[in-house]
Amino acid sequence: MKKRVLLLFSILPLIIGYLFASFHAVLVTNTAPAFNLQNIAPGDMVTISNGGDIYQLTTTNSKQIIHGQNLIEPVMAGGNIIAVAKTINYASLLLYDQSGNKIKTLFNGNTGTVDTMHWVTDPAVNPAQDRIAYVSDKDRQQTNVPDNALYVLNLSDGTSTNIANPDPYSGGIAHPVFNPVNGNVLLYDYYQYDSKTLAPYSTIEEYSKDTGFTTTLTFENKNAYQESFSPDGKTLLFLGRNSDMNTVTLYRADFTDTGLMNVQTLASGDFAFPVFSNMKNRIYFLQSEENKGYNLMEATMQKGKLNNIGPVISGYQLAGNSSFMVTKMK
Amino acid sequence: MQENPVKKTQKPFVIRVLICFVFAVVFFCIGFTVYFLGALEQFITSAMNQHITLKTLVSTSQLPNQTNVLLLGSDNDQKFTGNPLTQTMMVVHIDYAKKEVDMFSIPRDLWVKMPDQQIYGKIDQAAEYEGIPSAIKVVEQTFGIPIDHYAWVGLYGFIKSIDTIGGINLQVVHPVLDNAYPTDINSSNPYGYQRLDIQPGMQHMTGEEALQYVRSRHEDLIGDFGRTERQRQLLLALKQTLLSSPNLLTDAPRLFDNLKGQIKTDVTLTDSAQLGFFFLTNKNSLIEKQFTLSPPTYSQVGTSSDGQSIVIANATESAKLVETLFGTKAAQTTLTNLSNEQDIQQ
């Protein structure tokens, strides 16, 4: 009996060693994103979602603000965080304080039955931080509805106004952005099919609250989407889908009263969500160079080219639905 | 007189603990090493196999002039028994001499004469008769295209294929909102449905996410044509992924092994290595074209006499397209007959 106990006692470390090694191997392959904070421009705060968690990064500090809430698409609103909580069948818009405590639900997508649940996505906050633009199939109908319609939620009275609808069934609006110096200007992506070839394409539209009119800023062949303003509202970054269907071109253009001028090609590849730093000549974007996830990159724009490209988050561990925004540190 | 037992001399307690500790550390190290040696051996064996296999396969084979491969995809989910419908039908025409690859997508609702039958039906129903041979026959009969090889994949095989290569980067070209996407994969309710929201833009998708992207067709303005477009896009992304990661091509034997039973094909390992080698060596000079029988030029949407929504080929234009692509002339007769069929309302 004593020998058996002794034998068992001797084998135990062997098993523990094996388990430790395999556990170590699992840990190595599932490391958290690696941050290179030195690549963040001074004064910038990057708020990013990855794997449902929200992180905030500055040039000196990184912290996980919210964990385990399955959140995507975070935007900052006066120090608070607005994010989308997405489940299999619906999504809701939630408001958190800067410590990650939930303040309230701004839009509840869960109606309790799968037939009437709905999505909310792509929140954007106006400069006065009293209105939120978002995309939703808010009509709660299963068929024959303007899915992915554009709304603006007034935070003071809680009412939503419908701004734009796509063609029925086509599911075609995404990514609203307010002009940071003129909250009456709202851009969004409009997805359509060519009436002759049935090929899908997208354009960037400009809605003016002053006039109530919408203007198309880009041509069909540009397949433009995911635009963002510079802090002064005078320059636009956007993506255009290439004809190979699976790469994109990154553009910059002057945003003027008469449309986009001086459009420049910055780069081509696998990019997503280009946004400006608070330093106007620096930008951030997601980039993938292999068939993996995405890195968060930072680069300097000089004479229509990207220079000094460096990763803020490396290791291709950001999922495609990781999105982020850059705000100025206070 | 009782004899005193011989007393064993015991080592001091501290020494005994020390010996135990040394043994524990040694065993721990052995366990740790055993795990990593196993992993290392696997890695070396795999690397050696890849190199030898690919080199042997490619160097001992000759390429044909042209090959037509019929790609088939089926909803072989939990609901289906028997031969499943072929929801996806695509002929990939590879012209090795011209270094050209054409992808010809066939709408699943195309109204055609069933092989060896006197009835008409949607082309995806042909496989219900005798499975893959019927699917091949209906394509050959309708378009006059000789099919050299086929590859069939079901839903689970599709998911596993994408996951085997580590997922795939895809550009979502149009928002996909589907309020009635079937919950028929690993589900307790295969007849249920869920809602689907796939946002546009570049994404890295798992096998299941990619399947959702290429399978959803509800609430798409152009229905099945939109889905066909997404399927072609996935194939292009897959090709791009394989070409930009040569390790995946050299890893073909392992991938094949992984997918055993999930894919049905008459493409041998040698054939696939040839294809891989052809694409790899010509990746910068390859001419690629995509075609489908899209309305209004090549087809129009109609209703069959039993109320089914169907796609009716425009015989003249479709025949011209097929002739240009495949050099076959038999198509026009079949398609002309088809559009004259009285069983449809255009």
pLDDT in tens, B13-34: 667 767 766 766 666 556 555 5
Confidence band of A192 (pLDDT split at 50, 70, 90): confident
Quote the mean pLDDT of chain A.
87
CB–CB of B221 and A193 under 8 A? Answer: yes
Q: How far is A330 from chain B (nearest CA, A)?
A: 32
CB–CB of A199 and B197 under 8 A? Answer: no
d(CA B272, CA A37): 45
B63 in the Ramachandran plot: left (φ > 0), alpha (ψ -120 to 50) or beta?
beta
State which residue of chain A sits closest to B168, comparing Cα positions.
A291
pLDDT in tens, A118-140: 889 999 999 999 999 999 876 65
| Closest to A72 (Cα-Cα) out of A83, A81, A63 | A83
Mean pLDDT of B35-55: 45
CB–CB of A17 and B202 under 8 A? Answer: no
Mean pLDDT of B127-135: 91
- Chain A 102-161, residues with CB within 8 Å of chain B CB atoms: 114, 117, 119, 121-122, 137, 142-143, 147-148
d(CA B5, CA B7): 6
Which run of H or E residues covers position A96?
strand A91-96
Disruptive mutation site among A245, A289, A316, A318 for chain B (greatest number of B CBs within 10 Å) = A245
CB–CB of B31 and A288 under 8 A? Answer: no
d(CA A67, CA A117): 25
Report the pLDDT value the prediction gives residue A217, as an integer from 0 to 100: 97
Phi, then psi, of A224 in degrees rounded to 5: -80, 145
d(CA B193, CA B150): 31
Phi, then psi, of B187 in degrees rounded to 5: -120, 150
What residues in A contact B296, CB-CB < 8 Å? 196
Half-sphere exposure of A56 (CA within 13 A, CB side): 18
- Residues A296 and A41 sit within 8 Å (Cβ to Cβ): no
Bridge-based pairing state of the strands B66-74 and B149-153 = parallel
Name the residue among B168, B177, B205 with its Cβ closest to that of A137: B177
Confidence band of A183 (pLDDT split at 50, 70, 90): very high
d(CA B156, CA B211): 9
Disruptive mutation site among B19, B173, B227 for chain A (greatest number of A CBs within 10 Å) = B173
Q: Is B190 an interface residue toward A (CB < 8 Å)?
A: no
Report the pLDDT value the prediction gives residue A176, as an integer from 0 to 100: 97
State which residue of chain B sits closest to A10, comparing Cα positions.
B24
The interface predicted TM-score of the complex, written ipTM, equals: 0.82
Extract the tokens encoding B280. 């790899």
State which residue of chain A sits closest to B36, comparing Cα positions.
A21
Report the pLDDT value the prediction gives residue A28, as an integer from 0 to 100: 38
Q: Is A293 an interface residue toward B (CB < 8 Å)?
A: yes
The more confident residue out of A253 and B113 is A253
Scanning chain A, the segments in alpha helix (DSSP H) are 2-29
DSSP states of A203-236? EEEEEETTT--EEE-S-GGG-EEEEEE-TTSSEE
Q: How far is B229 from chain A (nearest CA, A)?
A: 8
Report the pLDDT value the prediction gives residue A133, as an integer from 0 to 100: 97
B54 pLDDT above the threshold of 60: no
B299 pLDDT above the threshold of 90: no
Mean pLDDT of B199-217: 90
Among the residue ranges A184-188, B73-77, B245-249, B299-303, the one predicted with the least confidence is B245-249
Give CA B132 to chain center in angstroms.
15
B194 pLDDT above the threshold of 80: yes
Report the pLDDT value the prediction gives residue B335, as an integer from 0 to 100: 62
- Residues B53 and B39 sit within 8 Å (Cβ to Cβ): no
d(CA A24, CA A19): 8
d(CA A230, CA A131): 20
Report the pLDDT value the prediction gives residue B223, as an integer from 0 to 100: 66
- Chain B 129-158, residues with CB within 8 Å of chain A CB atoms: none
Quote the mean pLDDT of chain B.
77
Mean pLDDT of B79-99: 86
pTM metric for this prediction: 0.78
Q: How far is A21 from chain B (nearest CA, A)?
A: 5
Mean pLDDT of B320-332: 73
Mean pLDDT of B279-288: 78
- Chain B 209-268, residues with CB within 8 Å of chain A CB atoms: 219-222, 225-226, 229, 233, 236-237, 240-241, 244-245
d(CA A149, CA A160): 12
Confidence band of B81 (pLDDT split at 50, 70, 90): confident
Which run of H or E residues covers position B257?
helix B252-258
Phi, then psi, of B290 in degrees rounded to 5: -125, 140
Mean pLDDT of B174-183: 85
Q: What are the residues whose beta carbons fall under 8 Å from the beta carbon of A53, sequence distance 6 or more?
A: A64, A66, A67, A68, A69, A71
The more confident residue out of B54 and A219 is A219
